[in-house]
Chain A
Amino acid sequence: MAVGLTLIFGVMRVVNFAHGDMMVWGMYLAWILSTRAGIDPYVGFIACAAALFVMGWVTQRLLVDRIVDAPHEMQILLMLGVALVLENVALVAFGPDPQRVRSPLRAATFWLGPVFVDVTRLVTFALALALTLALYLFLTRTDLGRTMRAAADNAYGALVIGTDVRRVYAAAFGIGAACVGAAGALVSPILPFQPAGGLSLSVASFNIVIIGGMGSLPGAFLGGLLVSVAESLGAVFLSPSMKELVSFSLLIVILLFRPAGLFGKTAA
């Protein structure tokens, strides 16, 4: 999910505050697919990704496009507005109670040496890794991917050589949203979700992306691992409800001392 956010930022220098809320929609879509159509989220995530791709594309074309050159404050406020809309439409549509998706793999576990492995989490991890690799290949091997990276490095230059920059931006936003949709679906059997959870997911994404470095894909992935480990350790040593405190404190520290993160390009 952080990978999607960093892509959007890297290409367009727009920070997607609605990221977490989009993810929640991904989760709800997976839930719908699961309960109404009986499709397992580990298969259905593709549909979720596709649906969110559309959502991202539309959002970009309709809204974000107009303010790509606007001052940062305006972009933040716009995405905040989008977040509010998404979160509360979800609230109205699905109600405030937490949900969880049931997957047939749910109960399966096995021992791997001294470690107790949960199959659902393993599958999630494997698929996330696979998707990240796929994205990486896309960005480095395909034309559109390379164009995206060019636009990220130098928007004006890309314009000069005839790129349809708006289309690239829309694609980037769409893919970023798709990542999050997939993420949502993959995680839906593990994490309970509710409309109000959008914010903490957004913040978690920002946390990870800033730590790993804005605009850097490997940074986002490694950042994700780092933050999860830190949070888990926090949950072990402090009380579980304080683990959010750990991630926020980490965020503050990183913001102050190394806003470029571990691998990142600096912000414009």
Chain B
Amino acid sequence: MKWLAAAALVVLLLLPAVLNSYVVTVFIFIFFYAFLGQAWNIVGGYAGQLSAGHAAFVGIGAYTSAVLSVQAGLTPWIGMLVGGLLSAVLGTVVGYLGFRFGLRGFYFVLLTVAFGEVCRIVALNTDAVGGALGYYITFTGNPWQFQFQDNRVYYYVALGLMLIATGIVAAIERRRFGAYLIAIREDETACEALGVNTFRYKMLAMIVSSFLTGVGGTFYAFYLFSLQPGAVFGIPLSVEIIIRPIVGGAGTVMGPILGSFILSPLAEVSRIYFGQGGWAGAHLIAYGLLLIAVVLFLPQGAYPALRRLWARAAR
């Protein structure tokens, strides 16, 4: 399997040389959403804490680095870390409230949704960050400001982010932290009886996850140049974040990547074919159907299923 991954990596590194700008953009979104999905995977996939409000971290990261850049001239390369840190603070708060108060399953989901929405409403009503009209960044193409003239540079940045996140998840899986998270997902009470400080590890997962997601927010801000509270804090983005790991395989290293390679092209294709006229939401219908299908038939996601098929074929 390893050489397959290495070969794929080489291909991905070379692709921008042969693809036109539009396809490069598609790949950028594949990598970027895979990155966000991978960050979510830590707390949602491995630890099993379904957070449906992760867009909040994207939003905080995005607005933070955007505002710092525009108002204070701080380079987003540092703003990215500040944004990540602030997201981690919110992550700590949400995690603390959720885990300390013993919210599990549905109740935790609702808590995260509530926080996401609160962030959105606050952003919507805060004129200092543009309120309902949104926040805009002027395009300067200056690399020090995390802006690049060439689409291809964004491609490599997004790819880099995805690889970093994947590396972090792989490292986690190999160590005690990962083993504990997986066990927590299986049965928290049994873990407690075995000496696992479940609260500490869930918090750690949440903090790492929210930090990474916040960093991703900066990419979002400096690729799209406009921040709308509904788009960057809203449920639709949270859905985009979680659906890739879930379809691809939550709690696996390759799951979010596979999921993104399946879903982003799907979204693009449906946007092209149905985007005209009144079919704007069609790709979301596909998302919904896919989600239903995965839950009913492939609850562990596509990657574990593929792995089983591969193992069977190898015999």
**Size class of the contact patch on chain B:** 35 or more
Tell me if A203 and B124 are in contact (CB < 8 A). no
CB of B292 to closest CB in A, whole Å: 4
Interface string of A40-82 (1 = CB under 8 A from B): 0000000000000000000000010011001011101110111
B118 within 8 A of A: yes
Q: Residue A248 contacts which of B105, B106, B107, B114 (CB distance < 8 angstroms)?
A: B114
Task: Give Cα distance in the complex from A141 to B287, angstroms.
Answer: 42
Interface contact A73-B105, CB-CB below 8 Å:
yes
Interface check A37, CB cutoff 8 A: no
Q: Which residues of B contact A67 (CB under 8 A)?
A: 295-296
Asked if A119 is at the interface (CB within 8 A of a chain B CB), the reply is no
Question: Which residues of B are in contact with A by a Cβ distance under 8 Å?
Answer: 48, 50, 52, 97, 101, 103-107, 109-111, 113-115, 117-118, 121-122, 124-125, 235, 239, 246, 278-282, 284-285, 287-292, 294-296, 299
Q: Does A245 contact B (CB under 8 A)?
A: yes
> In the complex the two chains form, what is the Cα distance from A143 to B252 in whole Å?
48
Q: Least Cβ distance of A194 to chain B in Å?
A: 12
By the criterion CB–CB under 8 Å, are B103 and A72 in contact? no
User: What are 19 A-B contacts with C-beta separation under 8 Å?
Assistant: A63-B292, A67-B295, A72-B104, A73-B105, A76-B106, A77-B295, A81-B290, A82-B288, A85-B285, A87-B288, A88-B281, A91-B278, A91-B280, A92-B281, A206-B110, A248-B114, A248-B121, A255-B110, A259-B103
The reply on A32 being an interface residue by CB < 8 A is no
Residues of A in contact (CB 8 Å), total 44
List chain A residues, Cβ under 8 A from B101: 255-257
Q: Does A191 touch B at the CB level, under 8 Å?
A: no
Q: Is the CB of A80 within 8 A of B239?
A: yes
A positions within 8 Å CB-CB of B? 15, 63, 66-67, 70, 72-74, 76-78, 80-89, 91-92, 95-96, 195, 199, 203, 206, 210, 239, 241-242, 244-245, 248-249, 251-252, 255-257, 259, 267
A268 to B107, CA, bound (A): 12
Name B's interface SS: helix
With contact pairs A77-B295, A87-B281, A96-B280 given, residues A251 and B50 touching in the complex (Cβ less than 8 Å): no
Residues of A within 8 A of B278 (CB): 91-92, 95
Q: Are A77 and B117 in contact (CB-based, < 8 A)?
A: no
The answer, among A66, A81, A91, A248, for a CB contact under 8 Å with B117, is: A248
Please report the C-alpha to C-alpha distance between residue A196 and residue B282 in the assembled complex, in whole angstroms: 13
Q: Which A residue's beta carbon lies closest to that of B283?
A: A88
Asked whether A251 lies within 8 Å of B114 as measured between CB atoms, the reply is: yes
- B107 and A255 contacting across the interface, CB-CB below 8 Å: yes
Complex Cα distance, B292 from A170, in Å, reads: 18
